[in-house]
Structure 1
Amino acid sequence: MASMPELAAHARDVPVNQIREITEAAWHTPGAIVLSIGEPGFALPRHILEAGMACLDRDETNYTPNAGIPALREAFATRFRERAGLNTSLGAERVYVVDGAQQGLHFAMSLLLSPGDEILIPNPGYPTFAMTSRLLNAVPVGYPLYPEHDFQPRIQDIEALITDRTRVLILNSPSNPLGAVLGADLTRQLVDLARKRDLWIISDECYEAFTYDVPHVSPARFDSDVPGEARVFTSLTLSKTYGLTGLRIGALVCPPGLEQKMNNVMEAIVSCVASPSQYAALAALTGPQDYVRHAHEHYRANRDAASAVLEAKGIPYLSAQGAFYLWANVSHVSDGDVRSWARRFLADSGVALAPGTAFGSIGEGWVRIALCGTRNDLVEGVGRLPKNQD
């Protein structure tokens, strides 16, 4: 009997996502405290649920336009203008409703990358930046975020990596996994670098609603409004802001002049997003914002509580200015292999933490601690970390 044909090389070579690896192990560990995954834990507001159910009740279950229902596109555009501080006329025509931020990233990369092209991604950075680009036969190149520079990118480090095959620069602020936030001056310099070196920017702004004592700064604020000159794509999601992780709803904001191309590619990738999710998202964006305020207060208080435990144990960490993660240095116990240590720590202590190597080579010796669960579980879980005796 003939054997099954091989998968394409770019699919065979996609690595295991170490976040999922440790989290699924935790789900099979009775009583485990799961601090390895960023899953908001609050009940959804009733008005959001009812909007999705009402869509089903009236049997509004046919195709929507490729780019999404007009009212939702306008709501995304309004929020983005306000949150990003855009002094532009950015309208709904540049907003494409996508099936979660991950599909938005795939959408943007599909538009911008040809086989063999290089894309600059943060190291440490979210794993799917590399995974998605590899699936498109592109080459991810990590730009370093060093502990000694507070994990902030440096222009000279990025520029040194640019070749004649570099097409895209990915920025992620607030950062997953770091909780780091890019300031206005650095963001402007990064956009200027992309303009000087003729690069596209994909800005992942999943956590834009959650910054602490610093503003969120979108690269789009420094982009051109002129078709043919603009270069920033912005990826947004409601998964983190409103806890809609399972409804798979987000938006990709494109530079002006690309609207028809966006429609063509959207049709080939997903056609359109499920209508109940779109109406639930519309209710989230246009209705009461109590959920977001409550989540912001909860994550901030959890950050402070977990930070106090780390300090008491002498464990170094990056003070999170955004998102809902703490980035902690466990090199005093991980012995140069934090992925293996995280598995042992789960087995021995019943606590799941995401190993830093899930996010790149510079993550060796570090772990990401999710702050979105209950205070008691978080403090108990972090409290089981071994003290740093140095």
Structure 2
Amino acid sequence: MPHLAEHVRDVPVNQIREITEAAWNTPDAIVLSIGEPGFPLPRHVLDAGMACLDRDETNYTPNAGLPALREAFAARFREQQHLDIGPERVYVVDGAQQGLHFAMSLLLSPGDEILIPDPGYPTFAMTGRLLHAVPVRYPLYPHHGFQPHIEDIEALITPATKVLVVNSPSNPLGAVIQEDTVRQLVELAVRHDLWIISDECYEAFTFDVPHVSPARFDSDVPGKARVFTSLTLSKTYGLTGLRIGALVCPPGLEKTMNNVMEAIVSCVASPSQYAALAALTGPQDYVATARGHYRGNRDAASRALEAKGIPFLGAQGAFYLWADLSHVSQGNIRAWVRSFLADSGVAFAPGTAFGPIGEGWIRIALCGEQKDLLDGVSRLPARV
């Protein structure tokens, strides 16, 4: 049998899926290891997707997506970030992960280096490796509140560095990058002639702080702009299974974007696009309800961790808490979460799923029922 390509053999196991699948096979487990919104979808969103099927509107759409949906994404981005973004810069993608792959496919050649956050979402590294690029982790340290420091990133830049990945609000940290730091990251990219891929999956969920996109500080001149923005409706509207998002590109790349989109996926399924259009343009009650639920869960879980003396990062966004279990993990948090699941019936994501700096930490998903969340957190061993 022929060998698989070397870059595929080297793709690591996603430790989030590893513990979650173990939990799914554990009777009565409390699964706090995966970020899956738990609210029923709004009826008008379901109806829009089903009406598309009823009309038998199941042919190809344009590569970039339905014009009305592109405009709806652009309108939301304009409103939130106060930018003059037209629909011609919006490409409807098959979920944020496909959008990240799309952007990296455009920007990375074999051997190029891509700067990714540590801790950061696992597929940043996985996707880079699949494209024959070299992921280089830039540190987000606890003593800096897990905020990026320009000096730390700049020290890692080499002639091979081509892309800087920014993620705010952060998965797994729940951290939101401060506006001045966002501006400095764009200035850093200009200084070293880097592209930026900004993963903004959780942009709808911040608490008492604004979400600021790097696109705010980007040039609007073709040839000088450098920010790609990855958006998704998976978290905002709970459409995880419909696989729908958008990639906002710098001006002047429309023809190339169409060509690459055709080679990757051609176009996104039309029922998902119509459901997404209904979500973006219809009532926004779902988003407000979800934000309130996540905030309430954050506050309740924070109080429970404080009562146990367990250090954690106060989440400013997304729907995760990042907690320090180094007092019991003995330097191997991946093994500890497996043992804890077996002993207590509760699954948390190990911090090492997100990079070496995550050793000793766990990510707690806040998106489920508060009763289950507090039950799970109550079983954590207190820090004496």
Give the structure-2-normalised TM-score: 1.00
- Residue 109 of structure 1: aligned partner: 104
- Residue 238 of structure 1: aligned partner: 233
- Residue 77 of structure 1: aligned partner: 74
Residue 282 of structure 1 is aligned with which of 263, 277, 280? 277
Residue 64 of structure 1 is aligned with which of 61, 65, 71? 61
RMSD: 0.3
- The question of 1:142 aligning with 2:142 is answered no
Give, in whole Å, the separation in 1 of the partners of 2:249 and 2:195. 11
Residue 363 of structure 1 is aligned with which of 343, 358, 364? 358
- Residue 28 of structure 2: aligned partner: 31
Deviation at 1:85, TM superposition (A): 2.3
Give, in whole Å, the separation in 1 of the partners of 2:373 and 2:81. 31
Per the alignment, in what secondary structure is the counterpart of residue 169 of structure 1?
A: strand
Residue 260 of structure 2 is aligned with which of 246, 261, 265? 265
Could you tell me the percent identity over the aligned residues? 82
Q: What's the CA shift string for 1:74-117, capped at 9, x where partnerless?
A: 0000001111222x2x1000000000000000000000000000
Give, in whole Å, the separation in 1 of the partners of 2:79 and 2:6. 43
Q: What's the CA shift string for 1:305-353, capped at 9, x where partnerless?
A: 0000000000000000000000000000000000000000000000000
Deviation at 1:25, TM superposition (A): 0.2
Per the alignment, in what secondary structure is the counterpart of residue 40 of structure 1?
A: coil
Give, in whole Å, the separation in 2 of the partners of 1:116 and 1:67. 29
- Residue 99 of structure 1: aligned partner: 94
Residue 52 of structure 2 is aligned with which of 55, 63, 69? 55
Query: What amino acid is aligned across from residue 236 of structure 2 in structure 1?
Result: T
Per the alignment, in what secondary structure is the counterpart of residue 353 of structure 1?
A: strand
- Residue 334 of structure 1: aligned partner: 329
Q: What's the CA shift string for 1:244-279, capped at 9, x where partnerless?
A: 000000000000000000000000000000000000
Give, in whole Å, the separation in 1 of the partners of 2:126 and 2:88. 29
- Residue 379 of structure 2: aligned partner: 384
Give, in whole Å, the separation in 1 of the partners of 2:77 and 2:353. 30
Q: What's the CA shift string for 1:142-191, capped at 9, x where partnerless?
A: 00000000000100000000000000000000000000001110000000
Give, in whole Å, the separation in 1 of the partners of 2:81 and 2:381. 41
Deviation at 1:223, TM superposition (A): 0.3
- The question of 1:133 aligning with 2:128 is answered yes
Give, in whole Å, the separation in 1 of the partners of 2:81 and 2:42. 25
Per the alignment, in what secondary structure is the counterpart of residue 322 of structure 2?
A: strand
- Residue 220 of structure 1: aligned partner: 215
Query: What amino acid is aligned across from residue 91 of structure 2 in structure 1?
Result: Y
Matches within 5 A, 1:194-209: 194-209=189-204
Q: What's the CA shift string for 1:26-67, capped at 9, x where partnerless?
A: 000000000000000000000000000000000000000000
Give, in whole Å, the separation in 2 of the partners of 1:174 and 1:83. 14
Per the alignment, in what secondary structure is the counterpart of residue 268 of structure 2?
A: coil
Q: What's the CA shift string for 1:214-234, capped at 9, x where partnerless?
A: 000000000000000000000
Per the alignment, in what secondary structure is the counterpart of residue 39 of structure 2?
A: coil
Give, in whole Å, the separation in 2 of the partners of 1:5 and 1:78. 49
Consecutive aligned runs of 4 or more in structure 1 exceeding 4 Å deviation: none
Give, in whole Å, the separation in 1 of the partners of 2:193 and 2:40. 45
- Residue 300 of structure 1: aligned partner: 295
Give, in whole Å, the separation in 2 of the partners of 1:359 and 1:127. 5
Residue 11 of structure 1 is aligned with which of 8, 15, 19? 8
Q: What's the CA shift string for 1:343-389, capped at 9, x where partnerless?
A: 00000000000000000000000000000000000000001000001
Give, in whole Å, the separation in 1 of the partners of 2:146 and 2:55. 50
Deviation at 1:194, TM superposition (A): 0.2
- Residue 20 of structure 1: aligned partner: 17
